Structure 1
């Protein structure tokens, strides 16, 4: 599945639009507890373990979006946006990753 942040595919003709597709993933509060209660893996001021968890959550959200696009017959998703939301409140320090885009079919 071709995934782009641009609204078109340079050099390709989009032949069909399937509409909005989304994907979501939650990164639970236990990640924070695990990261900050024991030994930290900090390199240059960055917590690499936390970055890996964020990447996993993003990949899950993108995978979910791609599955939805594929099920509609799309071979690309354009105009993709990735957002991170701190749910806080009753959800603790849960972070939700959301991805949105437009599923399309282009001539290969």
Structure 2
């Protein structure tokens, strides 16, 4: 499946626009899994662990986006955008990806 942030794919022609497709992932803002008790108080280790968690959540969001597009019989997604929001009161981060599912010729 081809993913693109632009509204076209160079060298390809869009045959059919199938509709909007999206995926949303919720992840904990403070993941301490895999950190020792001592490392939980080390800001560098905590941020590194948080970054890895966000990267994994982003990848999961794109996997779900592809699955949702495949269910629509798409072979590409154009106009992809991503939104990351932190909900500090509940220690959650939301990652949303969306785009237009299309069928290429």
**Which runs of no fewer than 5 residues in structure 1 stay unpaired?**
none
**Which runs of no fewer than 5 residues in structure 2 stay unpaired?**
none
TM-score (norm: length of structure 2): 0.84
Report what 1:42 is aligned to.
44
Q: Are the aligned partners of 2:78 and 2:99 in contact in 1 as well (CA < 8 Å)?
A: yes
Q: Displacement, 1:42?
A: 2.8
Following TM superposition, where does structure 1 have runs of at least 4 consecutive aligned residues deviating by more than 3 angstroms?
A: none
RMSD: 2.1
- 1:32-89 CA-to-partner distances (Å, cap 9, x unmatched) read xx26x6414738xx93221110011111111111111001110001100011011233
Q: Are the aligned partners of 2:80 and 2:97 in contact in 1 as well (CA < 8 Å)?
A: yes
Q: How has the CA–CA distance of structure 1 residues 3 and 38 changed in structure 2, closer, same or farther, with 3 Å as cutoff?
A: farther
TM-score (norm: length of structure 1): 0.82
Q: Displacement, 1:29?
A: 4.2
Report what 1:101 is aligned to.
99
